[in-house]
Structure 1
Amino acid sequence: MAKKGSVVYKCSNCGYTQPKWLGKCPECGEWNSLEECIVDPNAASPLLKSDGSAVKAKPVPMSKIIVQDEGRISTGSAEFDRVLGGGATKRSAVLIGGEPGIGKSTLLIQTAASVLKSAEKGRILYVSGEESASQIKGRAVRLGLDVGAVEILCTLRLEDILDALDSLNPVMVIIDSIQTVYSVQAGLVPGTVNQLKYCANEL
């Protein structure tokens, strides 16, 4: 997540954006095409060049696009992996919806435990806006799950979540649920359309 005033690098050929400079664009394969840009979400064009001018998107022929195999992370459930097309894609977001009480939180804590087994190292951040840390731990114990490397953060504030992401750099983030998260930048009432759009974009 790029914060206001942070620097990113955008390919002038295909528009691919990433936080570090590379000599070759990993998306289209063009050399020396990544330009330094400043992120300003309040501007008409969120990406600005170092000289203050706006970055304009350009079309690129599909024949020049290199398909990158990002790799997938198994959730530990064959059915869940099948729904996700073979597992969760790295650097992607998955929205899980359903009626209250159908087992969304149970599925998420089971997924966290399974990912920890397959990951060589790293931690998982579990953000809860509806349950206490003891409730989440109790569910994991009842299911017999090893979730010792899961960091529990009970908060509704987007800023708390962003700080935790910066400090932990987790391999996976679970937010239960996004509709409870709010930021003062988008008002004080969680669950509004504006809050959901703002918080999801920042994350």
Structure 2
Amino acid sequence: MSSPCQHELIKRHAACVVWFTGLSGAGKTTLAFALDDALRRKGIHTAVLDGDSLRLGLNSDLGFSPEDRATNVQRTAQVSKLMVDAGLVVIVSLISPQAESRNKARSLFNEDQFFEVYLNTPLEVCEQRDPKGLYRKARGGDITQFTGISAAYEVPGSPHLVLQTQALSVSDCLERLLAMLEPALKRRSAN
């Protein structure tokens, strides 16, 4: 059986998780795919786990209760762990509103393998963006337990990076993300 270190040596970069958290409409999916593209262009082996896609398959049996949200995060974290063990940089785009669930996800990884990125985008900006019309439905009572409206979002206490997507362009955010990741990705290539 091969070890994660062997996979990292073969791929010539360290494996890790970049975990985007924030309200719906904060820009998690946009940044996840932008980061994925930028890393692939650098020869980094990546995978994106997007909350919407996961809810079409792996997590299709879950609703939006606090318990189901915790299970959503737990399953995503377990899949991320398997992918990191295979030497990938895993980019997770998940509201993950509960601090306890995010902390449990973080606990699966070594300290230098998990990067929590909080998209600190004001609710009013997320509502203006509202790409799927979800806030309108939540305000109208059509969606219950909607994070930021009728369900709480617990702000991360010590994220690795905070991005205010209402003030920063995608390229500005990307520049900060790459600067955060560069030392970690070089960790194995130097060996």
Query: For the superposition of Structure 1 and Structure 2, which TM-score range results when normalised by the shorter chain?
Result: 0.3 to 0.5
TM-score by length of 2: 0.34
Higher relative contact order (CA 8 A, sep 6+): 2
- Higher relative helix content: 2
